Amino acid sequence: MANPLDLLAYSLRSLAHRKLRAYLTVLGIVIGIAAVVSLVSISDGLYAGVQEQLEAFGPRNAVVVPGDISGFAISGGGYAPPSAGRLFDKDAQRVKSIPGVVDAAKGISVRSLLSFKKNNITISISGVEAQPFNKLMKLDILEGRFLGDNDRHVAVIGADYAQGDIFKNDKMGVGSVFYLGEERIKFRVVGILDPSNSVSGTMIIVPFDDAKELAGDALLEGEVSAIRFAVEEGYDVDAVLSRVEANLAGSRGVRLDEKDFSLITADFILEQVGQIIGVLTAVLGFIISISLLVGGFGVANTMFMTVMEKTKEIGTLKAIGATSKDIMLLIILESALIGFAGGSLGLFAGWIISLIASVFDFKTVITPFLAFFAIAFSMGIGIISGILPAYRASKLSPIAAINK
């Protein structure tokens, strides 16, 4: 007879080992689910961040630009993709006259030489109609003021010129003087944009007529680079937008599907960005899911072992009247439980990882759908991995099983 203490130690060890096996199997699922949850939470956060930024663009705002840009053409080399179409003053008038359109503002963007003190840089300049533009964009001013309708040869500059190192050690401030274009037209800074604005920190905004002067022959008589407008409260945004689209296309005598201009809205950009984020998440999610597959094999392995060890028990159950179906259910339930435990713990671990990620300035979101999906998915893995072992268990002949 063995020493009772030794027996105790051995049974504890065996129990510990069995427990250990369950822990390790669950761990396999935890790792995969945690990775999926943290990935999706980061990508959802990215999407929410873009959405937030676009809110500043204004859900009722739209911009008309020349050329058909649906589906963002990406050009590899130095050659910009060919584009058709131009916009003119008369198009702006047309847009303005459509019911529901308010604050229509013409814009010009022109690339120009900028000289400030001893620095020369080349930069894109935005010429805008001050009052409607300001109403549309509601830009926050850090210092100074925005452009007024009667201003000439003044500029509002992005915060990077006042704070960054664009000019090495020189910094612009309100009252600074700089020169634009080859003719060195003198401009005075009247305002600096707050960095919290959703526009680029390297933006330079000047009155429309000044930009026109800078553009010179690069634009035709009466040509503009963009027309911004808002849809008035009380009007349906989509209805007004399609009216603008139809009206512009009609005035050019082109069908809508061959239009040579594009209407950009926050929704349009969100859709494009959403597609890119979606593809990225799908690819990474697929790669990560491979680990869930491996985890599933681990569950199957554990369940086969369990069935083997419980052969006698299963035989007894059958002998006292349990049907094959009962046995199968029993094993699948155990396997689903492993999946459930893995999913819940994985969700928790993923949540911790996303918290850590948010410390590093990643925006993360764990939606109820993601939480539900993680647990349901891991339970599904548990069930699927348990089917074969359960089937094997259910087919055991009771006599042989007990005799084993």
Partner 1 sequence: MVPIAEMFWYAFRSLKHNTLRSALTVLGIVIGIAAVVSLISLSQGLSFTINEMISAFGTNNVMVMPGSLESQMGGGGAPTGRPVSGRLFEKDISTLQGVAGVGDITGYLMNSQSVRFREEELRVSLMGVEPDALFRIYKDFYVLREGRFPRDNDRNVMLLGANIADETFERKISVGQFLYVGPEEKKFRVIGILEKKGGLEGEDNDNAIIVHFDDLNGLSTTTLSKNEVNGIIFRVKDGFNVSQVAEAAEIKLAAAHHLRVEDKDFAMMTSESMMEQMGAITDLLSLFLAVISSISLVVGGVGVMNTMYMAVMERTREIGTLKAIGASDSAVLALFVVESGLLGMLGGIIGILIGGFVALIVILVGFDAVFDLQLILFALSFSFGVGIISGFLPAWDASKLPPIEALRYE
How many amino acids of this chain bind partner 1 (CB under 8 A)?
65
Q: Which two tokens stand for residue 346?
A: 């994985």
Distance CA 222, CA 228 (A): 16
Q: Which is nearer to partner 1, 31 or 314 (CB)?
A: 31
Distance CA 146, CA 132 (A): 12
How many CA atoms does the CB half-sphere of 374 hold within 13 Å?
29
DSSP 8-class letter at 203: -
Distance CA 99, CA 96 (A): 8
Handedness of CA 159, 60, 212, 258 (dihedral sign): positive
DSSP bridge partners of 126: 109, 205
Task: Please name the amino acid found at residue 115.
Answer: S
Angle between helices 4-57 and 266-309 (to 10 degrees): 170
Contacts with partner 1, 37-66, as mask; x by CB under 8 A: -----------------------------x
For residue 234, the minimal CB distance to partner 1 (Å) is: 35
Residues 113 and 217 sit within 8 Å (Cβ to Cβ): no
For residue 14, the minimal CB distance to partner 1 (Å) is: 7
Inter-CA distances, 401 with 68, 232, 307, 325, Å: 73, 79, 11, 17
Contacts with partner 1, 218-247, as mask; x by CB under 8 A: x-x---------------------------
- Under rule CB under 8 A, residue 302 binds partner 1: yes
Contacts with partner 1, 78-117, as mask; x by CB under 8 A: xxxxxxx-x-----------------------xxxxx---
Residues 231 and 97 sit within 8 Å (Cβ to Cβ): no
- Under rule CB under 8 A, residue 127 binds partner 1: no
Residues 354 and 366 sit within 8 Å (Cβ to Cβ): yes
Distance CA 94, CA 261 (A): 14
For residue 354, the minimal CB distance to partner 1 (Å) is: 16
Question: Judged by CB under 8 A, which of 122, 150, 169, 361 binds partner 1?
Answer: 122
Q: Which is nearer to partner 1, 80 or 359 (CB)?
A: 80
Where does this chain touch partner 1 (CB under 8 A) — which range of 92-100, 135-143, 296-304, 365-373?
Answer: 296-304
Contacts with partner 1, 250-289, as mask; x by CB under 8 A: ----------------------------------x--xx-
Contacts with partner 1, 315-354, as mask; x by CB under 8 A: ----------------------------------------
Helix (H, G, I), strand (E, B) or coil at 273: helix
Question: Judged by CB under 8 A, which of 35, 192, 244, 331 binds partner 1?
Answer: 35
- Under rule CB under 8 A, residue 21 binds partner 1: yes
Handedness of CA 43, 44, 49, 51 (dihedral sign): positive
Binding region for partner 1 (CB under 8 A): 2, 6, 9-10, 14, 17, 20-21, 24-25, 27-28, 31-32, 35, 66-67, 75-84, 86, 110-114, 119-124, 166, 181-182, 200, 202, 214-218, 220, 284, 287-288, 290-291, 293-295, 297-298, 300-302, 304-305
